[in-house]
Amino acid sequence: MTNIKICPSLMCANFDNLKDEVVSLDKAGADIFHIDIMDGNFVPNFGMGLQDVNTVRRNTNKEIDVHLMSINATDHIELFKNVGVDIVYVHSEGDPLISTTLAKIKENGMKVGLVVSPGTSVYFIKELLNLADIVLVMTVNPGFAGQKYLDYVDEKIFKLAELKSKYNFEIFVDGAISEEKVKYLKTKGVDGFILGTSALFGKDESYEEIIKRLKA
């Protein structure tokens, strides 16, 4: 068994039975529940809401993260703390006070997640790495499911892997992550995987069978 973390992206779950989905994924060995929150401005789409966060929190003791794709992410930090979120991911793009936002997450007792979009270079966010507990590398453009994996992002992952011991952060990836990508990237320094329909949801196998194989 490897020490990678499996993080189901709940936007891909069955919303009619979100409680049952969370319970099943928890029992199957999921490590962190991933929730996308969008404001319709940072990306032209909307994700899950506070009521969904509350449903997840009531039905698992595992960690919950929120990926904030919003213009004014700093305005919502305390709100997510109050509903039991453990990790908050924010984008450096579009936030002129990103270091303040990251510090506010830490001050509220949550893990700091720094998101790197496909078009953002490691050089651009290097000075923020000391503030991050997790760097989340987007391997598709944020905002929509069903996209293809962007292979050119691999080079960014490799660069971050060279820096993670110096700055003491973990690397997670999000976007069209297939089982083959998990097998490959876990050998390249990736610690956690946000999984949707490419590897976890809508398959003929049970969640437990899939997660067990991914962690082998």
Marked catalytic residue, from 31, 95, 174, 191:
174
Residue 216 burial (CB count, 10 A): 8
- Tell me the residue ranges of DSSP E strands in the chain: 5-8, 32-38, 63-69, 87-91, 111-116, 134-138, 170-174, 192-195
Marked catalytic residue, from 31, 36, 52, 65:
36
Q: For residues 83 and 122, give the distance between their C-alpha atoms in angstroms, rounded to a whole number.
A: 32
Q: Is 20 assigned a catalytic role?
A: no
Q: Is 174 assigned a catalytic role?
A: yes
93, 128 contact by CB (below 8 A): no
- Show which residues are catalytic: 36, 174
